[in-house]
Amino acid sequence: MCMFPSKTLLQYLIENLINHPLQKELALIMSDLATIGKIISREVNRAGVAHILGQHGSVNIQGEEVQTLDVLANELCKQYLRKTGHFAALASEEEDGVVDMGEFGENAQYIIAFDPLDGSSNIDVNVSIGTIFSVHKRLPNISRTDEKQFLQKGSDQVLAGYILYGSSTVLVFSFGDGVHEFTLDQSLGEFLLSREKLRIPPKCPIYSVNESNTPLMKEHDVMFINFLKKDGTRTARYIGSLVADVHRTLIKGGIFVYPAIDAEHKGVYKGKLRLNYEAKPMALLLSQAGGLAIDGQQDILNKIPYSLHERTSLILGNADVVKEYETLSLTNNT
Ligand code: FDP
């Protein structure tokens, strides 16, 4: 057995600074997010033991029941990130508005949007969940707590990624020059490099969709899902945690489809996933790995959010198959 572990995250970030000296602060941000990931990973792993599973009893801005671990992860992210002094403002799935960083954010150059614990409906059944983050430069000449700080295009993200709490804890991120994966070695308490410059495999062997929604989808979405199943070469996998479904897609190839649905049977079709802290960061990772993420008709990275908690449809995975969806959607959209 090898005595020497692969490169630690810290070693990687320091080495990266030789080629990208201007990324010093982003490297520090990445290191802080990794620390948060370690703490949440510990809490997720001991949640059952600590009897902190279950519901918190409140409802968040999205109308969903808030889980205890969601609250814990959100508080941890807020308090820890505030003290780093890197962020002028923060937005979270669990917060109605922009969170002021107070005196710590006065001279900060970045803003961060995150989902502290994505896939919350999977928390108390030991299914993988994750933390998603998206970092932008702070916009000048706009108050730092103005929502407009967060209405920036996905292509302007300077750092995006996720931490997946699964059978192991993995950190996947991009500064816009490739996607890298680090796996947490619990005994060392270190994230170790497991995949550098990750590329999505060329084949698309898996389709991932909540098929219970097909009666609520537009006709062309149902057509597309039938097309994916047509020749029997693909298998189905749907975890219902975006982080886990995206991670599998990046590693194994495939397509994830969450189109707009008519959930209220009123002829109004809406996406479910959040643009700022779900779709945008995943889109950066997919595009950096050679894949693609669209809302059906345009690249997610080109979308300018019109509100903090805007929802979107999301189709991501192997670029050629995602483009087939785009063509079908553009020719059939009503
Ligand atoms: P959850 O509702 O469990 O928090 O946007 C949140 C999310 O999970 C994603 O992680 C996941 O991809 C999606 O919603 C699952 O939605 P459905 O239950 O409607 O399939």
Backbone phi, psi, residue 36, to 5° = -60, -45
Nearest alpha carbon, ligand 1 atom 12: 242
Distance 269 CA to ligand 1 centre (A): 17
Mean pLDDT of 82-91: 96
In order, the DSSP letters of 90-131 are EEETT-SSPEE-GGGGTT--EEEEEEEEE-GGGGGGT--EEE
Query: Please, what sign has the CA dihedral across residues 218, 239, 69, 132?
Result: negative
Does the CB atom of residue 60 touch ligand 1 within 6 A? no
H or E stretch at 202: none
Select from 61, 212, 238, 241 the residue to mutate for testing ligand 1; criterion: most ligand atoms less than 8 Å from CB: 241
Per-residue tokens: 142: 């706009």
**Which of 62-66, 133-137, 249-253 is the least confident region?**
62-66
d(CA 8, CA 38): 14
Q: What is the pLDDT of residue 40?
A: 95
pLDDT at 60: 67
pLDDT digits (tens, 9 = 90+) for 110-128: 999 999 999 988 888 889 9
pTM score, whole prediction: 0.94
Mean per-residue pLDDT of the chain: 93
Which of 234, 166, 173, 184 is CA-nearest to residue 204?
234
Asked if 261 and 171 count as a contact pair (C-beta separation under 8 A), the reply is: no
Is the minimum distance from the CB of 312 to ligand 1 under 6 angstroms?
A: no
Q: What percent of the chain has pLDDT over 70?
A: 92
Distance, CA of 108 to chain centre:
23
- Residues paired with 235 in a beta bridge: 206
Q: Does the CB atom of residue 316 touch ligand 1 within 6 A? A: no
How far CA 122 is from CA of 6, 52, 152, 250, in Å, comes to: 31, 14, 30, 21
pLDDT at 267 over 80: yes
9-50 pLDDT, tens digit each: 999 999 999 988 888 999 999 999 999 999 999 998 887 666
- CA 279 → CA 48, 271, 295, 304, distances in Å? 30, 11, 9, 12
DSSP 193: E
pLDDT bracket for residue 331 (50, 70, 90): confident
Mutate to test the pocket of ligand 1, among 242, 256, 277, 315 (most ligand atoms within 8 A of CB): 242
| pLDDT of 2 over the 60 cut | no
- With a 6 Å cutoff on the Cβ, whether 263 touches ligand 1 is no
- CA neighbor of 177 nearest in space, from 284, 89, 312: 284
Distance in angstroms (rounded) separating the CA atoms of residues 104 and 87: 8
| Residue of 253, 260, 249, 266 whose CA lies nearest to 222 | 260
Q: Residue 177, Cβ neighbours under 10 Å: how many?
A: 12
Residue 241 beta carbon below 6 angstroms from any ligand 1 atom: yes
The arithmetic mean of pLDDT across residues 71-76, rounded, is 93
Confidence of residue 55 (pLDDT cuts 50, 70, 90): low
How many angstroms is it from 3 CA to the middle of ligand 1?
A: 40
What does residue 54 show for φ and ψ, rounded to 5 degrees?
A: 105, -175
Give 21's contacts (C-beta < 8 A, 6+ positions apart).
none
Question: Quick one: which atom of ligand 1 is closest to the CA of 64?
Answer: 2
Question: Quick check: CB of 273 below 6 Å from ligand 1?
Answer: yes
**Burial class of residue 162 in the structure, from the number of CB atoms within 10 Å of its CB (0-12 exposed, 13-18 middle, 19+ buried):** buried
pLDDT category at 56 given cuts 50, 70, 90 is low
The average pLDDT across 320-330 equals 93
Ligand 1 centre and the CA of 11: distance in Å? 35
Distance from the CA of 84 to the center of ligand 1, in angstroms? 30
Burial 223-232 (b: 16+ CB within 10 A, else e): ebbeebeeee
Per-residue confidence (pLDDT) for residue 47, from 0 to 100: 74
What is the distance, to the nearest Å, from the Cα of residue 67 to the centroid of all Cα atoms in its chain?
Answer: 19
The alpha-carbon radius of gyration of the chain (Å, integer) is 19
Residue 130 pLDDT exceeds 70: yes
For 72-95, what is the mean pLDDT?
Answer: 96
For residue range 157-212, list pLDDT tens digits in order: 999 999 999 999 999 999 999 999 999 999 999 999 999 999 999 999 999 999 99
Structure tokens, 67: 């889980």
DSSP reduced 3-state for 140:
coil
Residue 66 predicted with pLDDT over 70: no
Range with the poorest average pLDDT among 45-59, 92-106, 251-265, 313-327: 45-59
Question: Does 208 sit in the ligand 1 pocket, CB within 6 Å?
Answer: no
pLDDT at 323: 97
Going from the Cα of 240 to the center of ligand 1, the distance in angstroms, rounded, reads 5
For residues 140-166, give the mean pLDDT: 97
Q: What pLDDT is attached to residue 306?
A: 97
Compute, in angstroms, the gap from residue 261 CA to the centroid of ligand 1: 13
Average pLDDT of the segment spanning 65-94: 91
Ligand 1 contacts CB of residue 315 (under 6 A): no
What is the position in ligand 1's atom list of the atom closest to the CA of 274? 5
Give 281-323 pLDDT, tens digit per residue.
999 999 999 999 999 999 999 999 999 999 999 999 999 999 9
Assess contact for 227 and 41: CB atoms under 8 A: no
Using a 6 Å cutoff on CB, does residue 131 contact ligand 1? no
**Rounded to the nearest whole angstrom, what is the distance from the C-alpha of residue 22 to the centroid of ligand 1?**
36
- For the segment 219-223, the average pLDDT, to the nearest whole number, is 96
